[in-house]
Amino acid sequence: MGEYGKREEPRVGVFICQCGTNIGGVVNCEDVVEYARTLSNVAHSEYNMYTCSEVGLSAIKEAIKKHNLNRVVVASCTPRTHETLFRRTCKEAGLNEYLFEFANIREQCSWVHMNEPEKATGKAKDIVRMAVARASELEPRSEVEVDVDRSCLVIGGGIAGLTAASSVARQGFKVTLVEKESKLGGKLKQLHLVYPTFQQASEILQDAVKSVSENENIQLLTSSTVEEVSGFVGSFEVTVRRQDRPNELKVRVGTIIVATGATNYEPPRPSYGYGVSDRVVTQLKLEEILRENRLGRPESVVMVQCVGARKGETWTPGFEELKKSGLVDEAESERSVEEGFPYCSKICCVNAIKNALIIKDRSPNTDVIILYSDIRAYKEYERLYSDARKKGVKFIRYIMELPVEVKTSDGGKLDISFFNTLDRRKMSLLADYAVLSTPLAPSVDNLLLSKTLRIPIGADGFLLEAHPKLGPVDTSTQGIFLAGTAAGPLDLAESITSAKAATARASSLMTPGRLAKEAVTTEVNPTKCDACGLCEAICPFVAPRIVTIDGRKVSQINPILCNGCGTCVAACPRFAITLYHYKDDQIVSQVRTAFSDEVGDRAEPRILMFTCTYCSYAGADLAGVSRLQYPTNVRILRLPCSGRVDPYLVFEAFKAGADGVIISGCHPGDCHFLSGNRMAEQRYKSLQAALDSLGVEKDRVQLEWISASEGQLFAKVVKDMTDKIRALGPNPMRVVKE
Amino acid sequence: MEPDLDIPEKIRPDPSFMEEVLKEPDGEKLRYCFNCGTCTASCVVSRHTEKYRPRMILHLVSLGAKEAILRSKEIWLCAACNTCGERCPQGVNIADGMNVLRRLAIKHGYVPASIRALVSRILVHGRIYEVDEFVEEERQDLGLPPLPSVDKKFIEKLSEKIHSKSPSIVGSDGESK
Amino acid sequence: MSRARLDDYRGCHCGSRVDRYGYFAGCSIPVRLNSYELSSRKVLNKLGVELVDLQGVSCCGMPIERVDHESFIFMVAKALAEAERQELNILTLCSGCFGSLSRGAAYLSEHEEEREKVNESLKEFDLTYKGTSKVRHLIQILYRDVGVRRIESEVKRKLDVLRIAAHYGCHPLKPHNIVEFDDPEEPHSLDELINATGATSIEYMDKLQCCGSPILAADENLAMKIAKSKLDNIRTAKADAVVTICPFCELMFDGMQIAISDKFKENYGIPALLLPQLLGLAMDIRPAELGLNANKVSTERILGRLP
């Protein structure tokens, strides 16, 4: 029986689980076992009360030995519970774990067809038949491992970079810290006192610099930039250019942390009077003025919030009403679209309040007025807001659709005019200083950085994290992590926290020193590939690369970077790419055995559903857990991603006798593989056109987005599709066996 | 007659007025006002005239429109029913606030004629109305006990206090009119 | 904020005498509304509450509160200290006096410095303000100390033909954190007292709105407009009479009703009674002894219908 033997004759063992009454109470397991025996390639078939129990697992191991099994099918609950367990059991019995297949006859059968035991049993038979067919096509696979160099490159020497560098170095890893300026510190150098403790920024900076300069594990390269990065996780090859040296420096690192920070937005002159009067400054400039104690004791200081931020937001309730009532000049409101960014920079409200408190502290008689749209003083910073009010800082709400205007006026004052929403009228304040609270904006280096590191930029221009919840400091490129404001506005504490998070992520790779990959990866057949570059273009994980081998250009996929979604497989016009464990013939084997004429009523619609494992399959399971009942007409296939669905699989489905096909994936923006579902959507459109020419009604194929939490939606989709297909009638392509 | 409140379009923020207000008894709480408008919404007077808006008045106080407020008629329109104070989410009693503004108005020389007349009656008769012999007789006829006599010494002391703290309460001819 | 339940206060006597009070006459009642004092004395006498005339007191200080605060406090402290000297709690019939003395007392209890200052000024009158005398309004005595049951037991003539619009006014209820009497948003003390006579205290629009009298001097038209809106609502609710517990409210609904009727070309004809007058009628005290002949708006409409 050898583990890595050549393609041998499959001897499939089928184990039906009764799961107490969960399955056994609806599905006639004996029948299914009998039926399984009749299938080709099945060498043994039995049923157990609880296959996942000690008894059940032993039974599997015994059967493997006794009957010389080389493939195992367990028909029970959902693979999302016990796939790992059964795979391990097979491994313990000497069988490669990738030769195991799961048939879901509980969540997706017995639990959802509780009132139709006959049909449920019939469906269970279909599901087992599909699993046996697929198991017969499975091949043994093994996991790939790469070495991870225990070294890290930190790009950026601001507080995030310094924190990351010293945190990584303290764990014993070598760090190369690259900073483009001659001095370390980034924005922190320009700050005066930081909230909420009102400590001196310079103190914090000193500590951070010290912890870096004193650490022998850190190689500090100031006045340097990263020129080129090649390689992949575990063995990045980095080229660093140094301003004062002629030669470049080459470093090899296992991981990279990007902490390149952000810039401070300045409004274009002369808007807001910026650049016209030297008493119109940004908050960052105010930090400098306060640090050097140059403010004096002015009569009044007006701060304007949201300058250059939240642009395009036009939602103020009652704004339309104001226009109609004539309180607002129609013409004025039209010119409200000005330069700036659409997002909220989060930190400017608290920062303004902090500076207001500092001014009030030094000059209590100075009137400080903050013109705001909303005050976002989150966490414990609400206390700073209350303090500010108590100390007499005034807050007046203006309207975002009508930006504040700053002009110089006679008598040396600034005339700051705005629409006061609480008074419902336009008014002016004659003040000495106007301080503009502007957002943190993406660094100008981001574009170049994104190309050098091959990491994406978000819609707002900041570097994009892999997933806001599942990977907040990861990037879509393995081994490269984000820290600090490079990914978006953060305050000091949050920047430090994110740097430590990035450290933890990088350490999780460097500590074991090796990285193992699941065996579901892709490979390109060089003879079929003509280097069209499509796979390289669409893979969000940068796994395929066009390389030259023996003088010929072909695509080569890095198995470490490949996430196994199969989107490139479906995209490849030459069918040159194979996704192991989800090969075309493995999938087609299920498609062709999903429906049989022996089982079921010909008049009943037969619907095949391709689901993605992370969202839609999970949604189907949830429907089962919730015991939502739906028609028995759907047979579900589990794929890594909806992007794996090649249109030709849909044709195969119709050829095999399906009356309808559903392709189901994660909601747009939520794809576990980032962009697979978008590809699925595009293919769906061209698929519909093609179906027309085959004489198959367009409505027979549906594209659905079902998330893991949408059990109800799943049930509804099944019901609706069943009704729709019933109305359409049998598939005109169906080869009817007489 | 006092002029209507004239809301200035251009305001030069003047924190000294707010400071003055905060120093007055019952004035400290006014700093908590965040302009929600609950007072105006609850106010009986606001309901029956468009001129009176307590929220706006407090808003202008915080901005420092001193002259406009102190010389206005509006601050004398509060009926002191205290509904605003009951409902203010920040615990500010706006009716008390109006009294604060009135006291400051008087101190700065803005004294409505009716107030001057009222004060002078108290300082002369010890009461808002004089208890003359007709009143005494009426009470006797009804079988009511005689009223306590006014403590003249006390009224004198009171007069001293008022005149020293608010000199403009006295009319231009030196007499309380 | 201030939605207390009155039930918490029932039977709370705060350890002081509940049958004997120092009567604070104020300015308005003796000169303009002796019927209020007359009817109150008659009713309280029947209910066993003794009134002792306070000496050395005249004006409560309310008009001065808007002129100078220190002077205002001086007046309040003098009045309260006089009551303390006579070891009496104060009972007043006037909501204005009640509000003024309560607020003044609350301020003094919270501001020690001011208290010391005013006691300095009171020295020459041989007085010290200690804060021991409580300030009470007639309705508090009737509701809390005497109680509805007692009053019911004194009713000899049930007034169940009458629909009464209760007018609480403002100062007996607000500000709640100082007065601590009835619920300012949903009061029921006055309603219960009226119902005790057999009459029905009805609901009507804007029942708790102020009468407008405080701004008569500042803007007479506006004040009358406010009172008119109350009269309109009372009329719409088909009340037989309105009952008040304050001389200013009473003067507004009684004497001023005629002026309002003239000005707005209306003919309300709604009798305005003071609470003790209503209670007195139920206790079978003669109308003349309750000063009802002095009411400007004719009370025949109700007197004629009583049993």
pLDDT at A150: 97
> Does pLDDT of A406 surpass 50?
yes
- The 10s digit of each residue's pLDDT in A544-563 is 999 999 899 999 999 888 88
Q: Is A266 among the domain residues?
A: no
Q: Which of helix, strand or coil describes residue C120? A: helix
Q: Does A369 touch chain B (CB under 8 A)?
A: yes
**Residue in B with minimal Cα distance to C219:** B77
Residue A235 φ/ψ, nearest 5 degrees: -150, 65
Same domain, A82 and A112: yes
> Does pLDDT of B11 surpass 50?
yes
The full DSSP string for A424-453 is TEEEEEEESEEEE---EEE-TTHHHHHHHH
What is the C-alpha separation between A253 and A148, in angstroms, rounded? 8
Q: What band does A735 get if pLDDT is binned at 50, 70 and 90?
A: low
Second-level CATH architecture of B15-107: Orthogonal Bundle (1.10)
* Encoded tokens for A564: 């196994």
Same domain, A137 and A183: no
Same domain, A561 and A595: no
Asked if omega into C175 is within 30° of 0 (cis), the reply is yes
Quick check: B35 and A422 CB within 8 A?
yes
Quick check: A365 and B9 CB within 8 A?
no
Which helix (H) or strand (E) covers residue A310, if one does? none
pLDDT at A601: 54
Same domain, A430 and A572: no
Q: What band does B175 get if pLDDT is binned at 50, 70 and 90?
A: very low
Exposed e or buried b per residue across C173-205, where buried means at least 16 C-beta atoms within 10 angstroms of its C-beta: bbbbebbebbebbebbbbbbbbbbbbbbbbebe
What is the C-alpha separation between C215 and C252, in angstroms, rounded? 11
> Does pLDDT of B172 surpass 70?
no
CATH number at A469 reads 3.50.50.60
Q: Say if CB A152 and CB A256 are below 8 A apart.
A: yes
Quick check: C209 and B44 CB within 8 A?
yes
Q: Which residue has the higher pLDDT, B114 or C16?
A: B114
Q: Nearest by CB to A390, which of B11, B16, B31? A: B31
At a CB cut-off of 8 Å and minimum separation 6, what does B70 contact? B101, B104, B105, B108, B110
Residue A394 φ/ψ, nearest 5 degrees: -100, 145
The CATH class given to the C17-137 domain equals mainly alpha
**What does the domain layout of chain B look like in residue ranges?**
15-107, 113-169
Strand partners, A249: A240
Q: Please give the C-alpha separations between residue B134 and each of B139, C18, C55, C294, in angstroms, as whole numbers.
A: 9, 34, 21, 15
Residue C52 φ/ψ, nearest 5 degrees: -105, 130
**Residue in A with minimal Cα distance to B65:** A429
**What does the domain layout of chain C look like in residue ranges?**
17-137, 156-303
Q: What band does A65 get if pLDDT is binned at 50, 70 and 90?
A: very high
Same domain, A588 and A736: yes
pLDDT at C13: 45
Q: Does C170 touch chain B (CB under 8 A)?
A: yes
Strand partners, B29: none
The pTM of this model reads: 0.75
What is the C-alpha separation between A208 and A158, in angstroms, rounded? 9
Q: What band does A2 get if pLDDT is binned at 50, 70 and 90?
A: very low
- The 10s digit of each residue's pLDDT in A207-265 is 999 999 999 999 999 999 999 998 889 999 999 999 988 889 999 999 999 999 999 99
C21, C13, C245, C5: which is closest to C147 by C-alpha?
Answer: C13
- The 10s digit of each residue's pLDDT in A70-102 is 999 999 999 988 898 999 999 999 999 999 999
Same domain, A586 and A734: yes
- The 10s digit of each residue's pLDDT in A110-156 is 999 999 999 999 999 999 999 999 999 999 998 888 899 999 999 99
> Does pLDDT of A362 surpass 80?
yes
Q: Say if CB A300 and CB A431 are below 8 A apart.
A: yes
What is the C-alpha separation between C293 and A232, in angstroms, rounded? 105
Rounded to the nearest 5 percent, the helix, strand and coil shares of chain A are 35, 25, 40
Per-residue pLDDT for chain C (307 aa), expressed as one digit of tens each? 333 444 444 444 444 566 899 999 999 999 999 999 999 999 999 999 999 999 899 999 999 999 999 999 999 999 999 999 999 999 999 999 999 999 999 999 999 999 999 999 999 999 999 999 999 999 999 999 999 999 999 999 999 999 999 999 999 999 999 999 999 999 999 999 999 999 999 999 999 999 999 999 999 999 999 999 999 999 999 999 999 999 999 999 999 999 999 999 999 999 999 999 999 999 999 999 999 999 999 999 899 988 7
Q: Say if CB B26 and CB B93 are below 8 A apart.
A: yes
Rg (CA), chain C: 19
Rg (CA), chain A: 32
pLDDT at A315: 63
Residue B3 φ/ψ, nearest 5 degrees: -75, 160
Same domain, A684 and A613: yes
DSSP code for A274:
B
pLDDT at C10: 45
pLDDT at A717: 96
Which helix (H) or strand (E) covers residue A705, if one does? strand A701-705
Of the listed ranges A6-10, A606-610, B73-77, the least confidently predicted one is A6-10
Q: Helix crossing, A382-390 with A348-362: angle to 10°?
A: 30
Q: How many domains does chain A have?
A: 5
A684-687, Cβ contacts within 8 angstroms, sequence gap of 24 or more: A686/A647, A687/A647, A687/A650
At a CB cut-off of 8 Å and minimum separation 6, what does A641 contact? A565, A566, A567, A612, A613, A614, A665, A671, A672, A673, A676, A677, A680
Nearest-neighbour CA in chain B from A316: distance (Å):
17
Q: Nearest by CB to B144, which of C34, C114, C170? A: C34
Q: Does B3 touch chain A (CB under 8 A)?
A: no
pLDDT at B171: 61
Q: What band does A6 get if pLDDT is binned at 50, 70 and 90?
A: low
Which helix (H) or strand (E) covers residue A63, if one does? helix A54-67
Quick check: A389 and B63 CB within 8 A?
no
pLDDT at A657: 85
Strand partners, A430: A415
Which of the following CATH numbers is that of domain C156-303: 3.50.30.10, 3.40.50.11810, 1.10.10.10, 3.40.50.300?
A: 3.40.50.11810
A156, A154, A183: which is closest to A169 by C-alpha?
Answer: A154
Amino acid at A302: V
Q: Say if CB A541 and CB A561 are below 8 A apart.
A: yes
Quick check: B157 and C107 CB within 8 A?
no
* Encoded tokens for A292: 């050097």
Quick check: B103 and C69 CB within 8 A?
yes
> Does pLDDT of B170 surpass 90?
no
- The 10s digit of each residue's pLDDT in A311-325 is 876 666 667 777 787
Same domain, A535 and A575: yes
pLDDT at B82: 96
Interface of A with B in 282-321 (CB under 8 A): 299-300, 302
pLDDT at A269: 86
What is the C-alpha separation between A564 and A551, in angstroms, rounded? 28
Region A622-648: what's the mean pLDDT?
A: 94
Q: Which of helix, strand or coil describes residue B36? A: coil
At a CB cut-off of 8 Å and minimum separation 6, what does C57 contact? B148, B151, C24, C25, C78, C79, C82, C83
Q: Nearest by CB to C174, which of B45, B86, B151? A: B86
> Does pLDDT of A598 surpass 50?
no
Q: Say if CB B77 and CB B45 are below 8 A apart.
A: yes
What is the rounded average pLDDT for all residues in chain A? 91
**Residue in A with minimal Cα distance to B35:** A422
Q: What band does A30 get if pLDDT is binned at 50, 70 and 90?
A: very high
Same domain, A729 and A607: yes
Asked if omega into A196 is within 30° of 0 (cis), the reply is yes
Residue C146 φ/ψ, nearest 5 degrees: -80, -55
Which helix (H) or strand (E) covers residue A467, if one does? none
> Which residues span the domain enclosing A239?
151-261+443-514
Residues of C in contact with B23 (CB under 8 A): none
pLDDT at A7: 63
* Cα atoms in the 13 Å half-sphere on the side-chain side of A652: 18
Region A441-453: what's the mean pLDDT?
A: 92
Strand partners, A476: none
The full DSSP string for C181-235 is -S-SSS--HHHHHHHHTT-EEE--TTTT---SGGGTTT-HHHHHHHHHHHHHHHH
Q: How far apart are the two ends of chain C, measured CA to CA in Å?
A: 45
Strand partners, A433: A301
Q: Does B14 touch chain A (CB under 8 A)?
A: yes
Same domain, A699 and A605: yes
Q: Does A428 touch chain B (CB under 8 A)?
A: yes
Quick check: B162 and C71 CB within 8 A?
yes
CATH number at A571 reads 3.30.70.20
At a CB cut-off of 8 Å and minimum separation 6, what does C123 contact? none
What is the C-alpha separation between A309 and A485, in angstroms, rounded? 16
pLDDT at A602: 62
Same domain, A572 and A658: no
pLDDT at A736: 53
- The 10s digit of each residue's pLDDT in A37-57 is 999 999 999 999 999 999 999
